[in-house]
Structure 1
């Protein structure tokens, strides 16, 4: 399979990824539709006297019960308090203009309140962004040498320099050299299937959590929509209050 993919042009690889992600999204939509039919059937059952038990047993789980957004995994990139019970997860796309606008806000939040929560970054490269996958691969390749966050910052801060390029590979290699990464290792990791699989796993977990835009944030499993640093800070404070 890997050898076949190498024969594809960049445009063909992008279209293949787009089709694969569309299939994932369609499968998720079908699953959601099935849940709706189950819920409808249960309602009828309740009406004919099967009782409250069935209604409880088949009611779809409430928001915030998706395991993928309630805890981190071994491949997540994290910052902040390692022992904190408060977890902020961002699904993001390095080519997304809105993500670029949120980047300094989230960075400042972590700098100011990082001792109060853990922050995890996950990839959700949108199919309409031609270089988003490659940018995610560059960040992951830098991460193999311990500099994920440094590359993460460069990609956002210099977004305008690479979003319009036909192929950003050389630009990303320049960033790797600037970060004093081993060039040969970076080039090998940049194309490694292991890292592409990690990016796809991030994306798939986002689909399960009904992520449909970037950036999307989850605080302790609940989707939040803060519009400013102050709103982020308030939500963190509320999450840390004793119940």
Structure 2
């Protein structure tokens, strides 16, 4: 059984969101890769979506992690064009599903902050956390980046700590991760178009799968 054990202690330190978070442990199967995946488009508890309404002709599901380098690259290089072509025009329903990858404690904290920021800011926070990977690579502790992002989203220090240690939110995250694992997802980013896995996440490959369905 998947377990998230006290994800981030209330005594947040500079190391608390690192690879060896003090007082925090996230247990995931060893087979979970850092960034690869199989699943359908059945609505899941806690889905975050943009674009067309539920029941749209085409639904694109992305399983992603805010700590995955490939996810961050897709977010920066492909997402703006994908969003302009399909999401902003309401041609497809884009569903984002959280699937934390190593370091999992950092990923879980990032997702929890996005949810605490509220639905209206959720995707902006996700984008900021992914973009902050460059800061971590340059030596900035992930905890510092996440606290900055939380502040910009309107969360004070007390709210930030409460957010990343909320038992109910952590339990809900646990269920979302388990649902992804049960669906066969093994890594990120993983994309599905109307339930069919798309191996190539380029805009061209996604368009090749989406456009015929829109015309049909």
- The TM-score range, normalised by the shorter chain, is 0.7 to 0.9
Are 2:10 and 2:165, in contact at CA under 8 Å, matched by a contact in 1? no
**Could you tell me how far 1:154 is from its partner in structure 2?**
0.6
Partner of 2:43: 72
Are 1:140 and 1:190, in contact at CA under 8 Å, matched by a contact in 2? no
What SS does the corresponding residue of 1:71 show, helix, strand or coil?
coil
Unmatched segments (≥5 aa) in structure 2: 12-19, 33-37
Are 1:137 and 1:195, in contact at CA under 8 Å, matched by a contact in 2? yes
Partner of 1:198: 172
Distance 1:196 1:204 in 2: 12
Partner of 1:102: 74
Structure having the larger proportion of residues in helix? 1
Superposed, which structure 2 residues align to 1:208-223 within 5 Å?
A: 208-223=182-197
Partner of 1:111: 84
**Could you tell me how far 1:123 is from its partner in structure 2?**
1.3
Name which one, 1 or 2, has greater alpha-carbon Rg.
1
Superposed, which structure 2 residues align to 1:221-240 within 5 Å?
A: 221-240=195-214
Distance 2:125 2:205 in 1: 27
Unmatched segments (≥5 aa) in structure 1: 26-63
**Could you tell me how far 1:88 is from its partner in structure 2?**
0.9
Distance 2:129 2:64 in 1: 12
Distance 1:77 1:6, change over 3 A: same
Number of equivalences: 194
What SS does the corresponding residue of 2:187 show, helix, strand or coil?
coil
TM-score by length of 1: 0.67
- In the alignment, is residue 89 of structure 1 matched against residue 61 of structure 2? yes
What SS does the corresponding residue of 1:119 show, helix, strand or coil?
strand
Superposed, which structure 2 residues align to 1:139-178 within 5 Å?
A: 139-143=114-118, 146-162=120-136, 168-178=142-152
What SS does the corresponding residue of 2:96 show, helix, strand or coil?
strand
Deviations 1:134-190 (A, max 9, x none): 22222222236x3111101111222121367685333212112223x1424344223
Distance 1:165 1:210, change over 3 A: farther
Distance 1:22 1:182, change over 3 A: closer
TM-score by length of 2: 0.75
